[in-house]
Amino acid sequence: MDKKNVLESIKNGLIVSCQARRGWPMYGAEIMGALSKAAEKGGAVGIRATGPENIKAIKKVTKLPVLGIHKQWTEECEVYITPTYESAISIIEAGASIVALDGTQRKRPHGETVERIIGKIKSEHPNILVMADCATFEEGLIAEKFGADIISTTLCGYTEETKYVKEVDYDLIRKLSSALNIPIFAEGHIHTKDHARKAIESGAFAVVVGTAITRPEIITKRFVDELNLLVGK
Ligand SMILES: CC(=O)N[C@H](C=O)[C@@H](O)[C@H](O)[C@H](O)COP(=O)(O)O
């Protein structure tokens, strides 16, 4: 599928983020494949996934476009979502149609910059869509100038500046989608179908949901906490 068709197929739809870190109950490429198949069966329009092994496993069992990231943590930087050009290439080679990367201006390994990574992906891989995971309105504006094809609200609540945000920031979605000329994805803290609907009503092009669909340990805990509250535990 070319870029235009990928975007067209995703419009107003649900992308399910299938991710599990080492040590989490759902960790493993085969499980990511099973979760993705289930998401496809339920009508999802795309899968967000991390790392080449998981992406390859998902591509084997679903036809859905993969929005790929490569999470890599280092001691010296806060940026961990596709922090370098090389990390982006590994997920493009694994079959991702969209590459998402940290779209903030924060320090990256080896003096990399978000501007250089976006520019290089766009010149060397013109068929790949680049998505910038941002936390603020200003970061979205800058990432669009750098050439991002999509802005996502992924990091709102997860940077120093925004760490007080614990819920979906519909104002941010509204502001970005009215100021920018590229699609805005709503991602992060979307826990219910009402949140998802409200995100689209606020101007989001598509919605990405992870925890509420693919982390049964958290979903279980939400039920248990509610029952415990009831009996004063
Ligand atoms: C901040 C960060 O690293 N977010 C990650 C991005 O890939 C994932 O851990 C989230 O699960 C994903 O963004 C979906 O969000 P939620 O799980 O809230 O539906």
The confidence score (pLDDT) of residue 1 equals 87
Residue 232 Cα to ligand 1 midpoint, Å, equals 31
Residues with CB under 6 A from ligand 1: 17, 19, 69, 154-155, 158, 187-190, 208-212
DSSP assignment string, 135-170: SSHHHHHHHHHTT-SEEE-TTTTSSGGGTT--S--H
Question: Could you tell me the CA-to-CA distances from 51 to 47, 96, 153, 178 in Å, in that order?
Answer: 13, 10, 20, 33
The confidence score (pLDDT) of residue 77 equals 96
Please determine, looking at this structure, whether the domain spanning 3-230 carries the CATH number 3.20.20.70: yes
Residue with tokens 């936390």: 135
The whole-angstrom separation of Cα 91 and Cα 50 is 8
ipTM exceeding 0.85, yes/no: yes
Specify the residue with its C-alpha closest to ligand 1, atom 11: 210
Residue type, 161: E
CB neighbour list of residue 198: distance below 8 Å, 6 or more residues apart: 168, 170
φ, ψ (nearest 5 deg) of residue 210: -115, -85
Q: With contact defined as beta carbons under 8 Å apart, do 205 and 225 qualify?
A: no
Q: With contact defined as beta carbons under 8 Å apart, do 166 and 184 qualify?
A: no
Considering only CA atoms, which of 141, 151, 146 is closest in space to residue 204? 151
Please write the tens of the pLDDT for every residue from 155-190: 999 999 999 999 999 999 999 999 999 999 999 999
Position in ligand 1 atom list of the atom nearest CA 189: 18
Residue ranges in the chain modelled with pLDDT below 70: none
**Token representation of residue 219:** 């979903």
